[in-house]
Each structure stands twice: as C-alpha cells, then as structure tokens.
Amino acid sequence: MDKPFEPACVFSERAQQLTSSAIREILKVTERPEVISFAGGLPSPAGFPVEVVREAFDRVLSSNGRAALQYGPTEGYAPLREWVAQDLNRAGASVTADQILIVSGSQQGLDLLGKVLVDRDSKVLVEDPSYLGALQSFSLYQPRFAPVPTDDGGLIPEALTPELAEGGRFLYALPNFQNPTGRTLNRERREALVLRAAQLGLPIVEDDPYGELRYAGEPLPSLLSLGRECGANVIRLGSFSKVLAPGLRLGYIAADRGIIHKLVQAKQATDLHTPTLTQMAVYEMVKDGFLARHLPTVREIYRRQGRAMLEAVEREFPASASWTRPEGGMFLWVTLPSHIDSQQLLMQAIEQNVAFVPGGPFYAGTPSRNTLRLSFATVPEDRIQAGIAVLGKLIRQQA
C-alpha cells in the first residue's frame, strides 16, 4: 500500500521556541576524550558513595521490596519528607513535613513552579546572569523575564525596586555559589533581600543545589530561614544531586502548605510521583547521619579542585581579566577585557581541545559577551593546569 502522505505534527508555540541549550550542544563536542572540558556541570563522581548506595538499595529491596516497587503518594515518602523538614529546621528554618514535596531532581521543582505560578507573559524576576536550566524550564510557560542587576556580591537588593517587582510572580535566586558565577550573597544582602521581598509582596524561589558544598568561609542562613522572621514568602528548592549523586534524580521543594498543595496536584498530572524505591533507599542512607560523615569528603574534593583552578587562572590569565573566588560549589566566572567575545574564544579553544561555556546564554537581560563559566568539578588537576594554560595564552594574545 502506498503511503498517502506523511502527516506532520503541529507543535505548540512553546515547543517552537524550544531550542537545544548552548551547554548541551557544546557538551556534545566535548565528549571526545582528548577535550579538556570546563563546560559541564557534572559533579565529581569521586564523591559518589557507591557502596553506601548499593547497600541501601539492597536493604530496602530485601526488607520491604513490594512497598518499594508499588505506586506511592505524590507528596513523597513520608519518612523522607520528615527528614528533610528536620534537616532544614536544624539549619534555622521552621517547617513541617507537610510543607515538603519530594521531586525528581530540583530541575523538576523548577518545572512544577513554572506550571503553577507562571502564565503567558507573567513577569518572573531573575538574577542576571542566572542558571540557564531554570531560564529554559520557566520558558516553557512563556513568561517575560525581568533581569535583576548583580555585582561582585551577587544580586543587589536595592535594585529590587517597586517598579521592577510590580506584578512579578516571583524572584528566582541562587544565594550560594551561584550557577554560573560562583558568587555568594552575604548575610546583609540576604536580610535586605527577604525584607524587601516581604515589603513588596514578592515570593522568592531560593534554589540551593550547592549549599552543602561550602569549603571556605562561614555557612550563612538560608533565605527560607531568614524569610520567616520578616514574613517573606520563600519557596526553597533543594537537591540530593550534589551531596549524594545526581543520577538518582532526587530533590525537594519546601514551601507554605497552600503552594505545596497546588504543586502536588501539578506533580500528580506530571509524573504521579517520584520513584518509591529511590526515596526509600535515600532515606536509608541519610536517616542515621550519613551525610554529616560523608560531606567533609565531598567538600574536600571540591576545595582541592577549586583551588587548583584558581591557582592556574591566577598564573595564566592576564591582569586585564577578572574572576570570582567562590567559597564553594563548582563554578568560576571570568570577565575578559570587554573587546573579547567569549563565544569566539570558545571556537579557538575547541581547536586546541579545551572547552567552557560562554557567558551570554546565562543572561535574561543584555548579555555581557566577554564573560565565561569554568567548571572545576570533574577535571583532574594536571588537566586543569594544561587547559587553563591554553585559555590563558589565547586570552593574552587578544588582551
């Protein structure tokens, strides 16, 4: 039988806007083993507690297999919700288990927040630059992004004017070792930010995937903790990706009950629930304080990697460039002399088998094309030095 014709799909408007991310396309190039890639956002697998994970899955499946393999509640596995609430409260928050929704990685948290808080043309405030994956996730719900200015200290609370906040559905902020800049909001700015948000009636979405990866300086209170003191509405996203392993795809949202209720309804329609087995296994791992024993190892890996990159950058990059000095996380942000376009630099670097992510795509506002993001999490120290030397030479040739 002949095919009468090939009926095509009509894609939605949002699907037509969808494009592969710059990071993603670059990662494809950098999969070749000879490439020294500072592009990826992958955590260091050296920090994955493989044996502990194996034992936890084994224990759950041996003792409670049928429950672990059955459908579960959309809200998440009750003991894990309780553990997350307690963990947040130890750090100064005041939440109960019914304010916790377990999600399939905090990226899903972003999607669910987009679903329940964003209409077409809704105003969403974002740090400028901000996490590209969040911009893409919210974009599916077709908001207008309102960029909030930042400086070396991160988001500038005073820049959050009533005009800028007017009609905003929320402000999306990453206070710790921000992706892409590695910057951390200090205590004064945190307090000023939540107070201002409370006064303006603007909810804050606090995304904190890296908070536990602090290897220098003093831990700072979360926006969630500070928010309760002044009545700010803070919705917090957390993740097990960097403290245990990202391939598990496990995170949480903490928020007030009304918001959690809506998010649960949205999650039910989205994927019913996060895998029961994974939740039970992670609860097995964390319930007896494993993270407190494990995190120093992870932090030490990131500290060493970060120091190696910072030392290499200080040695190889010209004085006309500047860069952040993160106290944790996995990213360094470099500002080149203003005439150097980092996208062009990338093309030159890739010819010499070195990769990074140009800064442009991280901006919701006017991009600074002379910026770039360097990830230090997964590259061995000798390759960090070799790769940064290549970049330094290229930059010095143009500086």
* Footprint (CB under 8 A) of a second copy, residues 166-225: 169-170, 197-203
Question: How many residues are listed for the chain in this entry?
Answer: 399
Hey, is 260 helix, strand or coil? Answer: helix
**CA-based nearest residue to 197, from 149, 155, 162:** 162
Shorter beta-carbon distance to a second copy: residue 324 or 378: 378
Shorter beta-carbon distance to a second copy: residue 140 or 390: 140
Candidates 81, 189, 242, 249; binder of a second copy (CB under 8 A) is 249
Binding to a second copy, residues 117-156 (CB under 8 A)? 117-120, 122, 133, 136-137, 139-141
The token duo for 172 is 């999306």
- Check binding of 29 to a second copy (CB under 8 A): no
The token duo for 125 is 């405030």
- Check binding of 80 to a second copy (CB under 8 A): no
- Check binding of 230 to a second copy (CB under 8 A): yes
- Check binding of 275 to a second copy (CB under 8 A): yes
- Check binding of 7 to a second copy (CB under 8 A): yes
Query: Smallest distance, Å, CB 328 to a second copy?
Result: 19
**CA-based nearest residue to 199, from 164, 235, 231:** 231
Shorter beta-carbon distance to a second copy: residue 133 or 147: 133
**DSSP conformational letter for 272:** S
Binding to a second copy, residues 42-61 (CB under 8 A)? 42-43, 45, 48, 50-51, 53-54, 57-58, 61
Query: Smallest distance, Å, CB 237 to a second copy?
Result: 13
- Check binding of 295 to a second copy (CB under 8 A): no
- Check binding of 229 to a second copy (CB under 8 A): yes
Distances (CA, A) of 163 to 44, 123, 146, 166, 207: 42, 12, 11, 5, 24
Candidates 34, 62, 90, 121; binder of a second copy (CB under 8 A) is 62
The token duo for 320 is 């006309």
Question: How many CA within 13 A on the CB side of residue 339?
Answer: 5
Candidates 26, 30, 100, 115; binder of a second copy (CB under 8 A) is 115
Shorter beta-carbon distance to a second copy: residue 232 or 313: 232
Return the exposure string of 339-357: e unless at least 16 CB atoms fall within 10 Å of the residue's CB, then b. ebebeebbeebbeebbbbb
- Check binding of 108 to a second copy (CB under 8 A): yes
**Crossing angle of helices 381-398/290-316, nearest 10°?**
40
- Check binding of 162 to a second copy (CB under 8 A): no
Amino acid at 183: R
Taking CB under 8 A as the rule, which mask of x and - marks residues 308-337 in contact with a second copy? ------------------------------
Query: Smallest distance, Å, CB 300 to a second copy?
Result: 18
Candidates 99, 176, 184, 278; binder of a second copy (CB under 8 A) is 278
180 neighbors 42 (Cβ within 8 angstroms): no
Hey, is 10 helix, strand or coil? Answer: coil
CA 125 to chain CA mean position, Å:
16
- Check binding of 22 to a second copy (CB under 8 A): no
130 neighbors 172 (Cβ within 8 angstroms): yes
Q: CB atoms < 10 A from the CB of 369, how many?
A: 19
211 neighbors 181 (Cβ within 8 angstroms): no
Candidates 276, 342, 370, 371; binder of a second copy (CB under 8 A) is 276
Candidates 156, 186, 262, 352; binder of a second copy (CB under 8 A) is 262
The stretch among 247-255, 304-312, 339-347, 389-397 that binds a second copy (CB under 8 A) is 247-255
- Check binding of 359 to a second copy (CB under 8 A): no
Amino acid at 127: E
